[in-house]
Amino acid sequence: MSARLAILGCFVGAAVVAEAPALGKTCPRSSDGNGNGRWTSGIFDASADGSPLDGFRKLLAMGPGERQAALAEKPEGQRSFLAAKLKEYDALGPADRELRLRVTQLRFYLTPLLYKKPEERAARLDAMPAEDRRLVEERLEQWDKLPSALQREVRDNEWFVQNVVGFQSGTPAQQKEMLDAMPADRRSRIERDLARWNGFSPDKRQRMLANFKQFFELNERERARIVKTVPGIERHQVEKTLLAFEKLPAEQRTMCLDALNRLSKMTPDQQLQFFSNADRWAKLSEGERDVLRRLLTQMPPLPPGYGEPATPLPVLTGPKR
């Protein structure tokens, strides 16, 4: 990948990541004080011992009529929240959708175990699907190495950080939509949390975010592993590509074939990043694309010799004796 394409990918990626708050980050729940939360509205109907996302996955798979009938059976607050989340998820590709769901499921399974001693976790771990258990056990191994004071800080701030980060990661329009779907008391809670967060020093916010991501987010290796398990993702990408390819002039088709040849030589991780950046580019408005094109064309040329193998350094020897 050329340096300019790499810059474009990073710029587009950073711009679009901020537009997508993850599922469940601003969903209210109750708790017994030991992390055994039951989600009182939003996406979960099951207790911590159930399959937490089965109901939401079924809603995602339904047609418009069937979904509308299913939502009509929900209480008003939950129905509004679910409708907003379903709209958000309908706009995602298969890979992004599955990653969001798996992050939410990870938090559902992991959080109660952070309140338990190692010898008290076996029953819950045995009840988890194998793929979720692997993610949870890797985090518990790191968790048990932390000092008790740091464990307490992470537990106490997990839900608070999740709420704030989830809300702030949305665009102003998405934030308004989420607030409008919340009951008044929930909206007041979010506003208080935001004020509290903004009162922290930058160093404290950074530390809290790092702790949160270590345990409650997926790393790049885990994301790549999950994406490979998504059924139909290759077909989804191929169908989109072929439809666009058929509409191109002959000259642009030749350019695309050359790009596909380069793509075939990439590693799986590089291919995943390529498709992610391409999808983000496609979602930009034409005005945003023009701005990026101007930025790239106005960049100064790369220095002579950039990208070529470095000249070996001379071998230094000591004085002869």
Q: Model confidence over 200-258: pLDDT tens digits?
A: 999 999 999 898 889 999 988 898 888 888 876 555 555 566 567 667 777 777 777 77
My answer on whether 81 and 147 are in the same domain is yes
pLDDT at res. 228: 83
At which residue do the structure tokens 């000259």 appear? 251
Regarding whether 113 and 46 lie in a shared domain, the answer is: yes
Any domain includes 31: no
Residue 179 pLDDT grade (very low, low, confident, very high; cuts 50, 70, 90): confident
Dihedral angle, C-alpha 162, 176, 276, 136, nearest 10 °:
20
Q: How confident is the model at residue 24 (pLDDT cuts 50, 70, 90)?
A: very low
In a domain, 21, yes or no: no
Asked if residue 46 has pLDDT above 70, the reply is no
Residue 38, beta-bridge partner list: 30
Q: How confident is the model at residue 29 (pLDDT cuts 50, 70, 90)?
A: very low
Residues 207, 272, single domain; the answer is no
Q: Are the C-beta atoms of 23 and 85 separated by less than 8 Å?
A: yes
Query: Does residue 24 lie within any of the structural domains?
Result: no
Domain membership of residue 258 (yes or no) is yes
**The amino acid at 191:** E
Q: Which of 227, 254, 287 is the last residue before a domain boundary?
A: 227
DSSP 119: G
CA–CA distance, 278 with 88 (Å, rounded to integer)? 19
Selection from 209-213, 263-267, 286-290, 295-299 with the highest mean pLDDT: 209-213
One domain, residues 182 and 293: no
Residue 34 lies in a domain: no
Q: Domain ends where: 227, 259, 283?
A: 227
What does the pLDDT read at residue 116? Answer: 94
Is the same domain home to 60 and 161? yes
Same domain for 169 and 274, yes or no, is: no
pLDDT at 62: 93
Alpha-carbon distance of 295 to 311, in angstroms, equals 32
Q: Is residue 313 included in any domain, yes or no?
A: no
Q: Which amino acid is it at 287? A: G
The dihedrals phi and psi of 4, each to the nearest 5 degrees, come to -70, -40
Asked whether the predicted pLDDT for residue 3 surpasses 50, the reply is no
pLDDT of 299 higher than 70: no
22, 66, 82, 19: which is closest to 284 by C-alpha?
19
SS3 291: helix
Is residue 29 within 8 A of residue 39, CB to CB? The reply is: yes
Q: Mean pLDDT of all residues in the chain?
A: 74
Considering the domain architecture, whether residues 161 and 267 belong to the same structural domain is answered as no
Same domain for 45 and 176, yes or no, is yes
CA 235 to chain centre: 22
Enter the pTM of the model. 0.58
Q: Which of 204, 227, 250 is the last residue of a domain?
A: 227
Whether 186 and 63 share a structural domain: yes
- Residue 54 pLDDT > 60, yes or no? yes
pLDDT at residue 173, as a whole number: 83
The answer to whether residues 114 and 167 belong to one domain is: yes
Q: Which domain holds residue 288?
A: 3-10+240-297
Q: Are 245 and 212 in the same domain?
A: no
- pLDDT number for residue 320: 54
At 227 the pLDDT is 84
In-domain check, residue 102: yes
pLDDT(302) > 60: no
Higher pLDDT, 309 or 75: 75
Rounded Cα gap, residues 168 and 189, in angstroms: 14
**Sequence-separated (6 or more) residues with CB below 8 Å from residue 99:** 218, 223, 226, 227
Give the count of domains, the chain: 2
The phi-psi region of residue 197 (left if phi > 0; otherwise alpha if psi is between -120 and 50; otherwise beta) is alpha
Whether residues 80 and 222 share a domain: the answer is yes
